[in-house]
Structure 1
Amino acid sequence: MRASRLSPVIMIPGSSATVNRFDPLVKLLNQGLPKNKRHSILKMKVYNSGKIISSGSLRKGDNEPIIVVGFENNHDGYVNIKKQSKMFAKAFNLLTKTYKFNNFKALGHSNGGLIYTAFLENYYAPYSNDIKVTKLMTIGSPYNFDEQSDTKKTQMLTDFIKKSSKLPKSLVVYSVAGTENYSSDGLVPIQSVQAGKYIYQKKVKSFMEITVTGVNAQHSSLPQNKQIVRLIKQYMLKRNNKGDFLRRQDNDKISDEKL
């Protein structure tokens, strides 16, 4: 299957966040780009009733637009994450019917990464032959919620591991953790983020863990953290990709001094 030129980056925010959550990130991604090269943005809010309201648009000729999907039910907890993944599946179905793309990149912040995991394991299979998810980046995603030890697995992590064989085999996954104090990003324990390896490692094409430290590595600031913005440009976006100067090993640590 030849990849279509249209390759959107579809983003899911975390709990309590709205479709505006990634506005600062998009502004930074567009910084320095000519007006006709900037990422256009479409925002979709899925209501509990199933209604979907969209704002913004995809600019004609923009082959790498950003699509943000948020939810009326944006609450925390495993029960809600399962509901949100089902709601995302409805939005994704609408996108596939509206726009002609056969590949996309995925990005989830915090619980957004959990929603993506649930979506890929439970709802993506019917699309997998026609629409390829090429890359997934999760940022500060608590795969084991607030547990600080991987010896005690939550029901969610247990379920994710059990269904991990359903993940796309060709997927490239980047799991980014922030450490404000070297043990957490101020909210999510780093051990919980690192638990993602039990789900993705050896189930997808490649899985890379990246740890960001230093200024603005606290949980809520991660999407617009300058280091993470550079990682997104390097690993996720074609138009910003200027080579492999950030190519790293599976367990990498990045600090301000390195960038």
Structure 2
Amino acid sequence: MRRRFATVLVIIVIVVALGGLTVWHRAQAAKQYVQSNVPTIFVHGWGSSANAETKMTHAAKRAGVTDTIVRANVAKNGKVTFNHTIPAHAINPIVEVNLADNKLSAYKHDYVTGYKHGGTYVKNVVLALEKQHHYAAINLVGHSMGNLEIINYINDNGNNDQLPKINHLVAIAGHYNGFVGQKTATSRVDPKTGKPTRADATFKPLLRLRHTFPTNTRVLNIYGDMEDGSHSDGDVPVNSAKTLKYLVAGRAKSYREVEIKGKDAQHSKLHNNDQVNRELINFLWHK
């Protein structure tokens, strides 16, 4: 009997201690990170899924940024369903987008139109969020093709007063001016303006952003150089990623570039990279 009582007592002490530790951790996080209802939407790349976003989103959760991560499944017809509803008073909720049409299969020979169509998937997620709660603002994070879908969403909707404002944009490995193997992607870029000497077909429709990009939006552009002589992350040349500056820097509230170097700067590793996690957590949520 005494042994059973002692065991129960130990369990109670452990539970109380863990509860106290959780409360302390949340209190420390509240001192370090903004306490906001602004949702952050993560959009994955070509042929991928929301699983590519989990290392980043769970790094934010471990840091104490949020306790709320939901998944938005987007069907090929654009219909959005969530695995959970975001609680009304959730702090810094995160939305992992999972695209069924993850290769824009109907646009294999016309990715200019394909990326624009991908932008409607992003819009549908935003509208679906609005049905849950009215959000005054959102943050957007993209990797690879997700960046082209996000930037097309902004190009078409960035100043639509019926949609939430965009507080922060994080671009990771964005191929704004083409991929490895395309001449436009490696063309020289003006270090001051980000303007490329040659513009890819996917880049040209985005030039309107130079006059329409939301002036309240802060931008962080993260790209990789494996330092293997390719001046790329294996898929996206550094110069292609840098052309985002020409599209947005003249209007964005702030614009900053971060270059990740070495073997962990490989294209697919950038969404599993501790340095990337630190950069985006600090940029999106640090006070």
TM surpasses 0.5: yes
1:148 and 2:186 aligned:
yes
1:21-45 superposed Cα distances (whole Å, 9 cap, x missing partner): 2112222222254xxx643211112
Q: Could you tell me which amino acid in structure 2 is paired with residue 159 of structure 1?
A: P
1:15 and 2:40 aligned:
no
Give the total of aligned pairs.
233
Give 1:80 deviation, angstroms.
1.8
Counterpart mapping for 1:109-120 below 5 A: 109-120=143-154
2:98 to 66, 70, 90: 70
Report what 2:116 is aligned to: 82
- Call closer, same or farther: CA 1:95–1:49 in 2, change over 3 Å: same
Q: Could you tell me which amino acid in structure 2 is paired with residue 83 of structure 1?
A: H
1:234 and 2:262 aligned:
no
Q: Give the 3-state SS of the residue equivalent to 1:210 in structure 2.
A: strand
Give 1:138 deviation, angstroms.
0.3
CA distance in 1, matches of 2:134, 2:126: 12
Report what 2:37 is aligned to: 6
- With normalisation by structure 2, the TM-score equals 0.75
Q: Give the 3-state SS of the residue equivalent to 2:264 in structure 1.
A: coil
Q: Give the 3-state SS of the residue equivalent to 1:126 in structure 2.
A: coil
Counterpart mapping for 1:90-239 below 5 A: 90-127=124-161, 131-146=164-179, 147-149=185-187, 150-181=196-227, 183-237=231-285
CA distance in 1, matches of 2:60, 2:124: 27
CA distance in 2, matches of 1:95, 1:124: 17
1:80-125 superposed Cα distances (whole Å, 9 cap, x missing partner): 2111101221221121121232122111111111111111110233
CA distance in 2, matches of 1:39, 1:224: 20
Q: Runs of at least 4 residues of structure 1 off by over 3 A?
A: none
Query: Structure 1: any 5+ residue segments left out of the alignment?
Result: 244-259
CA distance in 2, matches of 1:124, 1:201: 15
1:206-236 superposed Cα distances (whole Å, 9 cap, x missing partner): 2111111134111101122111111011111
Contact 1:28 1:224 in 2 (8 A): no
Normalized per residue, the structure richer in strand is: 1
Contact 1:46 1:88 in 2 (8 A): no
Give 1:139 deviation, angstroms.
0.4
Normalized per residue, the structure richer in helix is: 2
Q: Percent identity?
A: 21
Q: Give the 3-state SS of the residue equivalent to 2:204 in structure 1.
A: helix
- Call closer, same or farther: CA 1:165–1:133 in 2, change over 3 Å: same
CA distance in 1, matches of 2:177, 2:91: 35
Contact 1:10 1:104 in 2 (8 A): yes
2:59 to 5, 13, 28: 28
- With normalisation by structure 1, the TM-score equals 0.82
Query: Structure 2: any 5+ residue segments left out of the alignment?
Result: 1-33, 105-110, 180-184, 188-195
Q: Give the 3-state SS of the residue equivalent to 1:125 in structure 2.
A: coil
- Call closer, same or farther: CA 1:38–1:131 in 2, change over 3 Å: closer
Contact 1:74 1:84 in 2 (8 A): no
